[in-house]
């Protein structure tokens, strides 16, 4: 499973990239607003840090606007993935970009039918939002399972990018359900390494090692 970080915060992206765990980055208008940075500048900077796919979302809602904005975004760096909303205009723009060899991420997916449409127009990634479905008392993870089945039934190559991940358990469940990628907030990525038995075991090893009085170097 590939790990993308879901943020526009440069410090977190740098720190996580150094761990070797990061395969890509996703941003969205809310994350850009939170960063307080200029959108195009921050996307360029992220693309210079992480060589993998970096999703940058269009703001336009109409087809012509999406194409115009997507072209600008795609020119910012070779690894930009143009993020488009799951609307008919967004799907049409996805088809156009697919024909031009531009990678796309179709976002705000909340149903298997929406995911089917995105695959049919040749989306590179589909982003089902797990946490937001959980928020309204639905099973977000069921959607990942359903999309996995549909895509496998027809050999669609669109990659399932589990988004709106809110917990370490979401990451486990998305991996079990066969998501190709999880885009994860930095706070959740840091939590993935934690286990109380690892912490306790390490404390004991440190103590016992000190008692030997030895040094490896």
Residue numbers at the binding site for ligand G3P (CB under 6 A): 6, 26, 28, 129, 131-132, 163-164, 166, 183
CB of 195 to ligand G3P, least distance (A): 24
Minimum Å gap between C-beta 149 and ligand G3P is 22
Ranges of beta strands (E only) in 90-205 are: 104-109, 125-128, 159-162, 181-184
Q: How far is the CB of 28 from ligand G3P (least distance, A)?
A: 5
Crossing angle between the packed helical segments 63-74 and 88-99, to the nearest 10 degrees: 40
Q: Single out the catalytic residue among 83, 103, 199, 210.
A: 83
CA dist 179 → 21, 82, 141, 197, 203 (Å):
17, 20, 10, 28, 35
Q: 169 or 198, CB closer to ligand G3P? A: 169
Catalytic site includes residue 191:
no
Q: In the numeric block, which tokens belong to residue 37? A: 């940075």
* Kind and range of the H or E run holding 24: strand 24-26
CB 215, min distance to ligand G3P, A: 47
Backbone angles phi, psi at 114, to 5 degrees: -60, -40
Cβ-based nearer residue to ligand G3P, 26 or 159: 26
Catalytic residues: 83
């Amino acid at each position: 499973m590939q790990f993308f970080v879901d943020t526009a915060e440069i410090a977190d992206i740098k720190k996580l990239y150094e761990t070797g765990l990061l395969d890509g980055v996703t941003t969205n208008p809310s994350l850009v607003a939170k960063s307080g940075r200029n959108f195009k500048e921050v996307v360029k900077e992220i693309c210079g840090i992480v060589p993998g796919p970096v999703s940058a979302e269009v703001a336009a809602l109409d087809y012509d606007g999406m194409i115009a904005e997507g072209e600008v975004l795609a020119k910012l760096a070779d690894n930009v993935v143009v993020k488009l909303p799951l609307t008919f205009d967004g799907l049409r723009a996805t088809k156009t970009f697919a024909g031009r060899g531009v990678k796309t991420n179709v976002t705000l997916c909340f149903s298997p039918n929406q995911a089917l449409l995105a695959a049919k127009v040749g989306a590179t990634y589909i982003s089902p939002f797990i946490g937001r479905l959980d928020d309204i008392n639905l099973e977000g993870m069921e959607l990942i399972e359903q999309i996995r089945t549909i895509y496998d039934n027809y050999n669609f190559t669109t990659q399932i990018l589990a988004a709106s991940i809110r917990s370490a358990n979401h990451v486990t469940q998305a991996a079990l359900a066969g998501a190709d990628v999880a885009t994860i907030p930095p706070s959740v990525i840091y939590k993935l390494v934690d286990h109380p038995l690892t912490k306790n075991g390490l404390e004991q090893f440190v103590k016992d090692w000190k008692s030997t009085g030895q040094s490896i170097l």
